[in-house]
Structure 1
Amino acid sequence: MADLKVFEAVSRLGSMNRAARELNTVQSNVTARIRSLEEDLGVSLFQRHARGVSTTPAGQRILPFVGRIARLLTDARTAAHDEGVPSGLLHFGSQETTAALRLSGLLSRFATAYPAVRLAVATGTTRKLLDDVIACRLEGAFVAGPVNHPELRQEAVFREELVLATSPAIGSLDELAGIPELKTIVFQIGCSYRQRLEALLADRGVVTARPLEFGSLEAIISCVSAGVGVTLLPRGILADAFSQGRIAVHEVPPERAEVDTLFVRRADGYVSSAMSAFLDMVHASRA
């Protein structure tokens, strides 16, 4: 298993040196483990070049199994020690918007109710979170629907209303068509809200410039408030900025506005007592 962990790090980082730093070891140890794994499998896993290494086609084919093997071992250890009392590590992911709007109070209550559980929450775009769940890097994640993947189990947990946010100077959606090369303020590619915004503006014939990408909600809202561009976010996220007069919000057609937040996890994954208790609390919060 240690050899596979080293293989995944080298493949992801494209460098023996960077993998060694991440794994807190020396490069010679990384090189030796990769050589041992290649000998066991009877194939070359990396092509060496001046900038580092590239994963060979054979390496690419076995890469998906690494996360699954690691997850199976983790599930086995968890199941062996799971006596029905929530404890241990609970590692899941969430969109930035869901974390800000729905999870802060929930996580606080869960931590108080189950102090033996160590919570670890990763944030990212829907696409990144789905990849991490499929690859077994996360036990589950809150993502924007719809999702259709044969290896995932999903359930709708929240429903959000998306609204278009602009500077207070813009009085209606009709004014957007008159702005040359309107800028959109968005998260990175893979954010489902970004895709909905692009579709909404295209429907209205609005010509947009290259999107401006930011990694935080506050940065996006601040840029919108300053008149740099527009964004599409859940109404609840924008409530404070709207009440302070920093932004204007505009309703959009229902087919663009309504979005389900799903909790997804691998269909073949072990559901620990900690995960079960957490999901019970999520369901109770909706009542």
Structure 2
Amino acid sequence: MDLDDLNIFLTVVREGGVTRAATQLHRVQSNVTTRIQQLEESLGVDLFIREGRRMAPSPAGQVLVDYAERLLNLASEARAAVSDRTPRGRLRLGSMESTAAARLPPRLADFHGRHPGVQLELRTGPTGRLIAEVLDGTLDCALVSGPVEDLRLNAVPVFEEELVIVAAACHPPIADARDVRTRTLLTFEPSCAYRQKLEQWLAVSAPVPVVPERVVELSSYHAMLGCVASGMGIALAPRSLLASLPSGNSVSAHPLPPHLGRSTTVLIRRNGIPHPAVDAMAEALLAPPPAPRLAAVA
């Protein structure tokens, strides 16, 4: 049973016979007759009471009429929903944790207000893992550290970040890796793009590469900055993140050379997969941040 069979069946019911149904459907009579017979064979029942050229639905045919109408209506709704460019349905967005904390809150609130039909799911993680999840379809799109050079992905630049070495508040200025007092790195997992930049800085900023004494992997910037403030080690973070977190006032920020200290955050998605909600998210991220909403005064 397919939708075309059901449409032919309903047309025969409405027109009372094959001849008029064939005219309405722009088919030859033999084709309509064959399709009705095949439908009856597949269901194992007679769908019509045949009186000469006149055909009336049998009791089984009357039951099928209701189901056929509902199925064809649902199919029509599905076509309209799929072809409609209005953002709706589930949007699985991935983001680096620093971006989620410093950049996304006002934009996600604005997006939620503009697109109530979208069910937004946000998942944070390091760049490498987020790229893999967009490629395997676990995420619809993700905000990661660029550049991303994979022909399967489309990448749109959305934010520019200044990356800084973060140390304890009392730490003296850091010109290169030799100035770091505590050579413990406080980082995320190895697939984190910012961790890779920090390791690169240690390797190239001084005449002789500086080897970390220890690497401590943490799962949040709150924990990381707390450990930095206590003098446990150093970290790498966007300056925008320090400005957005209360703990950012308890650490010191030290600039990096421009080739390491500038980072572009890009929105990635699979090429060739239309998704109106992803289009709407890209538009929201590229727009100026919305002004804060003032609470109403009673």
Mark yes or no: TM-score above 0.5: yes
Please show how residues 222-233 of structure 1 align to structure 2 within 5 Å.
222-233=226-237
Question: Root-mean-square deviation (CA), in Å?
Answer: 2.3
Q: What TM-score results when the alignment is normalised by the length of structure 1?
A: 0.68
Return the match for 2:280 from 268, 273, 277. Answer: 277
1:85 aligns with 2:89: no
Contact 1:166 1:231 (C-alpha < 8 Å) held by counterparts: yes
CA–CA separation in structure 2 for the residues paired with 1:219 and 1:152: 32
Q: Tell me the equivalent position of 1:268.
A: 272
Q: Which amino acid aligns with 1:257?
A: G
1:248 aligns with 2:248: no
Q: Tell me the equivalent position of 1:22.
A: none
Q: Tell me the equivalent position of 1:220.
A: 224
Cα shift at 1:179:
5.8
Contact 2:168 2:251 (C-alpha < 8 Å) held by counterparts: yes
Which string of whole-angstrom CA distances, capped at 9 and with x for unpartnered residues, describes residues 160-196 of structure 1?
Answer: 0001110022111158536677101001110010000
Indicate how the Cα distance of structure 1 residues 257 and 275 shifts in structure 2: closer, same or farther if over 3 A, else same.
same
Cα shift at 1:281:
1.3
Aligned-pair identity (%): 33
Decide which structure has the larger Cα Rg and report it.
2
| Structure 1: gaps spanning 5 or more residues | 1-76
Q: Number of aligned pairs?
A: 210
Q: Tell me the equivalent position of 2:135.
A: 134
2:214 is paired with a residue whose SS is: coil
Contact 1:158 1:261 (C-alpha < 8 Å) held by counterparts: yes
Q: Tell me the equivalent position of 1:119.
A: 120
| Structure 2: gaps spanning 5 or more residues | 1-77, 291-298
Contact 1:180 1:207 (C-alpha < 8 Å) held by counterparts: no
Contact 2:106 2:289 (C-alpha < 8 Å) held by counterparts: no
Indicate how the Cα distance of structure 1 residues 118 and 207 shifts in structure 2: closer, same or farther if over 3 A, else same.
same
Q: What TM-score results when the alignment is normalised by the length of structure 2?
A: 0.65
Indicate how the Cα distance of structure 1 residues 82 and 234 shifts in structure 2: closer, same or farther if over 3 A, else same.
same
Cα shift at 1:113:
1.4
Q: Tell me the equivalent position of 1:168.
A: 169
CA–CA separation in structure 1 for the residues paired with 2:80 and 2:288: 27
Indicate how the Cα distance of structure 1 residues 199 and 242 shifts in structure 2: closer, same or farther if over 3 A, else same.
farther
CA–CA separation in structure 2 for the residues paired with 1:159 and 1:232: 15
Q: Tell me the equivalent position of 2:59.
A: none
